[in-house]
Chain A
Amino acid sequence: MKRTLAYAAGLLAVLIAVAPVYWLITISLKREVDQFSYPPQWFGFPATLDHYREAFAGGAFTAYFGNSVALAAISTLAALLIGVPAAYGLARFDWPRRWDDRLGDWILSTRMLPPIVTIVPLFLMLRQARLLDSLAGLALVYTGFNLPFVVWMMRGFFEEVPREMEEAAMLDGESRGGALLRIVLPLVKPGLAATAVFCLVVAWNEFLFALILTQTEAAMTLPVGIASHVTQYEIQWGVMSAAGVVAMLPVLFFASAAQKYLVRGLSLGAVKG
């Protein structure tokens, strides 16, 4: 009896968690006449892909989607290229007076800055550099935003690899960089992949920076495109829901791929989970 009750409570929680997402999906698949019919139709409505076609077949959302993909990929790659050596440097070298911890704390604290604090200066800086409304400008900002996370996470993963591994390789004539590339990185590959996934998801989901630093199809991302449709006078719910569904699918896919490291990433490495 008690067990049945526990399962029932768990299922109720799952239902509450999933129902809004399911409802969004049904709206994206319903004809306009069925979208807001009373009583609400959860099942058995005639489905159509018209809204997906309207949003993505040559529509503005195709451009937003492309921008989101490019931004996520470029900024993740850049953050990894700059951040992984830093993580290795903090994890492996001898630092006087605990400078490794001081630098690490400082790097992490930049991640905790609220975006709204830096957004005004960044907007003015990018305007001066003529990088407003460009993929390059936004990619730069996202790289800076993800970098502390990469350093902090990868430092933890590197510290879990015994030093003897690369010391042996270096005795055999391998350089420091060669030991990192050929010995250490393959050992932390799952952690590296999880870190990359986190950066991808953060860049993909980000809204505030993209809202302020982009204005046109040249650089607008999927979340900003969706938002600009919500705040318009007449809302095309079908198109917007379709875009929303498309925006959430990659995240769910990637998150399930990195599930083992979800706790660790979300707690900034503090809970090894």
Chain B
Amino acid sequence: MKPRRIPEGFWWVFPSIAVLLALSVYPLIYAVKLSLADRRNFTRLVSDRLFLTAGAQTIVLTLAALVLEFALGLALAVLIDSLARGRAFFRTALLIPMLLPPVVAAVAWRLIYNPQFGVLNGTLRRIGVNTAHLTWTSGEASALASVILVDVWEWTPFLFLLLSAGLQSIPPEPMEAARVDGASAWQIFRDVTIPLLMPTILLALLLRAMDLVRIFDQIFILTQGGPGTATETVSLYIYRTAFRFSNFGYAAAMSFVLLAATMLFSRGLLRVMRSR
């Protein structure tokens, strides 16, 4: 067999490979070892009520936030795209929520949501709404929806920005051809614009979904998973298991469920990126 030469470019990439092996791959193997130290870690997963609750709530949160952010982001992108002037202003101003440190955004929403002295109930009372039952993040029934609302506020700008860029990169000819053929504005949007926008839509949804399943910062500040377990998510439960109860093995086992979901999204993502 002919000895194979190491490609010249390898030495340029080598330091990065070494760092990533040490800081990503090795920890991953370490996590496998930790989780396998006690086989019961994996059997416990399926019977752990709290884990199942956290999992279900993470799915609900991800899906609800994704649908709302996509619908609002697309509507905003189309709206701003149709304006003759001031597009740069709108684009800049609408991005602010997404750029803030998530911790700061969550602090602002705690100030807003507080049932007694928060500005939301204060404003509602001012216009004559009875706010006695509006408990937002402190009510068991409304906490998850309130957390979703914060995420929608914070990340609709992301969908808006990507879809907006997608819209601008579509050539105008297909739309004009459809118009000449007598298609209505809605028909053009549904049958021409959306299919052309589809790669961008997929990309944006996958990127967002990947971040949503691991949501932590906002909930940690807003509710710490409460009241009760109303806003407990997988990330929060893993955090608590590892760093409050020092059960590293079980935390590692749970984190692989999250990893599996992420891999599902990232494979799709790489495929979308490749086809562009």
- A pairs with B: yes
- A120 and B34 form a contact (CB under 8 A): yes
Question: Which residues of chain A are near B45, meaning CB under 8 Å?
Answer: none
Query: How distant is the Cα of A247 from the Cα of B172 in the complex, in angstroms?
Result: 42
Closest chain-A Cβ to B73's Cβ sits at a distance in Å of: 11
Flag the segment in B122-130, B140-148, B186-194 that touches A. Answer: B122-130
A45 CB-CB contact with B under 8 Å: no
What range describes how many residues of B lie at the interface? 35 or more
- B111 and A144 form a contact (CB under 8 A): no
A1 CB-CB contact with B under 8 Å: no
Q: Mark B151-179, 1 if CB is under 8 A from A, else 0.
A: 00100011001100110110000000000
Question: Which residues of chain A are near B97, meaning CB under 8 Å?
Answer: 17, 20-21
Query: How distant is the Cα of A42 from the Cα of B200 in the complex, in angstroms?
Result: 39
- A110 and B24 form a contact (CB under 8 A): yes
Identify which of B97, B104, B207, B272 gathers the most chain A CB atoms within 10 Å of its CB. Answer: B104
A214 CB-CB contact with B under 8 Å: no
Contacts of A198-216 to chain B: CB distance below 8 A: 201, 204-205, 207-208, 211-212
Contacts of A48-102 to chain B: CB distance below 8 A: 82-83, 85-86, 88-90, 92-96, 99-100
Question: Which residues of chain B are near A132, meaning CB under 8 Å?
Answer: none
A259 CB-CB contact with B under 8 Å: yes
B61 CB-CB contact with A under 8 Å: no
Question: Which residues of chain A are near B123, meaning CB under 8 Å?
Answer: 39-40
Of the candidates A90, A117, A204, the one whose C-beta lies within 8 Å of that of B28 is A117
Question: Which residues of chain B are near A82, meaning CB under 8 Å?
Answer: 15-16, 19
Query: How distant is the Cα of A122 from the Cα of B158 in the complex, in angstroms?
Result: 30
B23 CB-CB contact with A under 8 Å: yes
Query: How distant is the Cα of A140 from the Cα of B23 in the complex, in angstroms?
Result: 8
Contacts of B1-16 to chain A: CB distance below 8 A: 7-13, 15-16
Closest chain-B Cβ to A130's Cβ sits at a distance in Å of: 17
B221 CB-CB contact with A under 8 Å: yes
A181 CB-CB contact with B under 8 Å: no
| Count of CB-CB pairs between chains A and B under 8 Å | 278
- With A39-B126, A114-B258, A116-B258 given, is the CB distance from A24 to B107 under 8 Å? yes
Contacts of B36-69 to chain A: CB distance below 8 A: none
Query: How distant is the Cα of A256 from the Cα of B95 in the complex, in angstroms?
Result: 10
What range describes how many residues of A lie at the interface? 35 or more
Closest chain-B Cβ to A191's Cβ sits at a distance in Å of: 17
Task: Name the CB-closest residue of A to B103.
Answer: A223
- A40 and B104 form a contact (CB under 8 A): no
Question: Which residues of chain A are near B20, meaning CB under 8 Å?
Answer: 107, 110, 144, 147-148
Question: Which residues of chain A are near B102, meaning CB under 8 Å?
Answer: 205, 207, 223
Contacts of B92-125 to chain A: CB distance below 8 A: 92-97, 99-105, 107-112, 117, 119, 122-123, 125
Known pairs A92-B9, A270-B276. 11 more at Cβ < 8 A? Answer: A21-B96, A35-B117, A103-B13, A113-B259, A121-B28, A140-B23, A205-B102, A223-B104, A248-B99, A267-B203, A271-B203
B interface list, Cβ under 8 A from A = 7-13, 15-17, 19-20, 22-28, 30-31, 34, 76, 79-80, 82-84, 86, 90, 92-97, 99-105, 107-112, 117, 119, 122-123, 125-126, 153, 157-158, 161-162, 165-166, 168-169, 200, 203-204, 207, 210, 213-214, 216-217, 220-221, 224, 234-235, 238-239, 242-243, 248, 251-252, 255-256, 258-259, 262, 265-266, 269-270, 272-273, 276
Q: List 29 A-B contacts (CB under 8 A).
A: A10-B80, A13-B94, A14-B94, A17-B96, A20-B109, A20-B112, A36-B117, A89-B10, A90-B12, A90-B13, A93-B12, A116-B238, A117-B256, A121-B30, A125-B30, A144-B22, A144-B23, A148-B20, A207-B101, A207-B216, A231-B224, A244-B104, A244-B107, A248-B104, A252-B96, A255-B99, A263-B162, A267-B162, A270-B272
